[in-house]
Amino acid sequence: MTKTFVFTKKRLDSLTNNGAARDVYHDAKVQGLQLRVSSTGRKTFISRPSLDGKPIMVTHGIYPNTTIEQARNKTIKAFNNCSDGVNPNQVKKNKQTKFTALGDVMSDYIKVKHKLKPKTVSDYQGLFNIFLLDWEHLELTKITQKMVQERHLQIGKKSPYRANATMRLLRALYNFADGYYEDLNGELIALPNPVRQISKFNNWYKEKPRTNTIQPNDLKKWFDAISNLSSHNNNLIRNNVSSTVSDLLMFILFTGLRKSEALGLLWEDVDFENAHFTVKATKNNSDLNLPLTTFTTDLLFKRKMITESQYVFTGSDGVQQLDNPYKQIKKVNEGSGVKFTMHDLRRTFTTIASSLEIQLHVVQFLTNHSPTDVTLKHYYRPSIETLRKPMQQINDYILEKINVTS
């Protein structure tokens, strides 16, 4: 096999050790970059620049955790450092001391995992700031299994779901660090993951699937409480926020959107003339085009008359998008006696659609779930007009239950 060639992902993925203690391949694009394949199949990027007339070995990461482009950039920097009389291994050692704290790993994780959705990043940062912030400056090796177990139990007393979610995040950070940071020999830093013992002893909290919906007979009570949201406070700004929350919750119920999709909706994606709107950056990475009904058109049009923000649903400053409206939802819960979350509204939408015997694949398209049928998933894309009738059916059903005419 040719030892020198232009490194590509396809080529490097296909490389195996040929029985030698190690095989070494050279990149034809960046001079000096090499890939060392060990007898176990581990692939390490290295280079051998000269410092003060003597060659030194510099490791640049394990493939594929370190990409080819990253390795090329590191190689160029290493040669430049040596030209300036600076040992790149010492530079890396100085940097490594900064990456041992949990907070630094969290920062690197968010930077490297650039495909994470903003909502996911926000959720991770929220969990970290609420439940792990006091460990921010602790080295990973200082966080013990006992500490993890106690923290899991502590969080679980109030919320088993958040306890599990926090530990899954912590586990992901350790797994990331174990495959990202290296010692000066290019070997991955071995980090025992203190979260593994939760799985070992089956100590994860059991999470029951959430099936709560607003029952048809409760929709009127819920709607009345929503409508009265802003009437209990004389502060104008608070009233404006309450009115926005009222519109937001109704919009989610009448469209079946996810919370993040509704909160991120922009006016530029609302087409009043053709009675439809577009949700971008959805959970399954595809734009969602949905019809506006008479009710939702009226709701959005009234909002358009009172806001100058790019966001449809704005916070107290009237500019940025609304944050999670926990306080207002609590008021509605108390005022109506109907317990719900924003995702329960989406679940209510799909439940109503099912009760109206709307075809499953239509409901899946309305709610941006991938169809289970392979043919539908890859070849069928219903038009907005095809979706308009079932969307209107669902809206009409809700309006009937709350005694409102569209």
Residue 106 tokens, joined: 């969290």
* Residues 160, 117 share a domain: yes
Query: What is the rounded distance in angstroms from the CA atom of residue 213 to the CA atom of residue 284?
Result: 23
Query: What is the rounded distance in angstroms from the CA atom of residue 142 to the CA atom of residue 36?
Result: 33
* Residues 138, 244 share a domain: no
Q: How many CB atoms lie within 10 A of CB 56?
A: 15
**Is residue 391 predicted with pLDDT exceeding 50?**
yes
Residue 55 lies in a domain: yes
Q: The domain spanning residue 304 has which CATH number?
A: 1.10.443.10
Residue 186 lies in a domain: yes
At 65 the pLDDT is: 83
Distance set, CA 366 to CA 148, 354, 380, 393, 398 (Å):
41, 12, 13, 12, 16
At 182 the pLDDT is: 67
* Residues 168, 38 share a domain: no
What does the pLDDT look like over 337-352, one tens digit per residue? 999 999 999 999 999 9
At 97 the pLDDT is: 47
* Residues 288, 394 share a domain: yes
Tell me what percent of the residues of the chain surpass a pLDDT of 70: 88
Select from 59, 87, 115 the last residue of a domain.
87
Confidence at 354, pLDDT banded by 50, 70, 90: very high
At 188 the pLDDT is: 59
Greater confidence, 197 or 297? 297
At 98 the pLDDT is: 47
Query: What is the rounded distance in angstroms from the CA atom of residue 256 to the CA atom of residue 63?
Result: 43
Select from 200, 226, 241 the last residue of a domain.
200
Lowest-confidence region among 1-15, 16-30, 90-104, 114-128: 90-104
Query: What is the rounded distance in angstroms from the CA atom of residue 153 to the CA atom of residue 141?
Result: 21
**Is residue 145 predicted with pLDDT exceeding 60?**
yes
Q: How many CB atoms lie within 10 A of CB 206?
A: 7
Query: Domain range for residue 15?
Result: 4-87
pTM to 2 decimal places: 0.62
At 195 the pLDDT is: 95
Tell which residue, 361, 356, 357, 366, has the closest CA to residue 388: 366
* Residues 397, 283 share a domain: yes
At 239 the pLDDT is: 47
Residue 207 lies in a domain: no
Q: The domain spanning residue 18 has which CATH number?
A: 3.30.160.390
Q: What is the 3-state secondary structure (H, E, C) of the chain?
A: CCCEECCCHHHHHHCCCCCCCEEEEEECCCCCCEEEEECCCCEEEEECCEECCEECCEEEEEECCCCHHHHHHHHHHHHHHHHCCCCHHHHHHHHHCCCCEHHHHHHHHHHHCCCCCHHHHHHHHHHHHHHHHHHCCCEHHHCCHHHHHHHHHHHHCCCHHHHHHHHHHHHHHHHHHHCCCECCCCCECCCCCCCHHHHHCCCCCCCCCCCCCCCHHHHHHHHHHHHCHHHHCCCHHHHHHHHHHHHHHHHHHHHCCCHHHHHCCEHHHEECCCCEEEECCCCCCCCEEEECCHHHHHHHHHHHCCCCCCECCECCCCCCECCCCHHHHHHHHHHHCCCCCHHHHHHHHHHHHHHCCCCHHHHHHHCCCCCCCHHHHHHCCCCHHHHHHHHHHHHHHHHHHCCCCC
Q: How many CB atoms lie within 10 A of CB 12?
A: 20
Residue 247 lies in a domain: yes
* Residues 183, 265 share a domain: no
Residue 369 lies in a domain: yes
8 Å CB contact between 179 and 155? no
Select from 64, 87, 110 the last residue of a domain.
87
* Residues 289, 241 share a domain: yes
Arithmetic mean of pLDDT, 226-241: 62
Q: The domain spanning residue 108 has which CATH number?
A: 1.10.150
What does the pLDDT look like over 152-193, one tens digit per residue? 999 999 999 999 999 999 999 998 887 777 665 555 566 789
Lowest-confidence region among 227-241, 292-306, 319-333, 389-403: 227-241
* Residues 195, 122 share a domain: yes
* Residues 310, 182 share a domain: no
Number of domains the chain is built from: 3
Residue 236 lies in a domain: yes
* Residues 361, 262 share a domain: yes
Say which amino acid occupies 308.
E
Counting Cβ atoms within 10 Å, is residue 58 exposed (0-12), middle (13-18) or buried (19+)?
buried
Q: Average per-residue pLDDT in the chain?
A: 87
* Residues 312, 170 share a domain: no
**Is residue 61 predicted with pLDDT exceeding 90?**
no
Residue 358 lies in a domain: yes
Arithmetic mean of pLDDT, 269-280: 95
Residue 261 tokens, joined: 């999709």
Lowest-confidence region among 133-142, 290-299, 317-326: 317-326
Query: What is the rounded distance in angstroms from the CA atom of residue 335 to the CA atom of residue 236?
Result: 21
Arithmetic mean of pLDDT, 1-28: 85
At 17 the pLDDT is: 75
Q: How big is the CA angle at 343 (ends 110 and 130), to the nearest 5 degrees?
A: 40
**Is residue 379 predicted with pLDDT exceeding 70?**
no
* Residues 35, 133 share a domain: no
Greater confidence, 133 or 180? 133
Residue 75 lies in a domain: yes
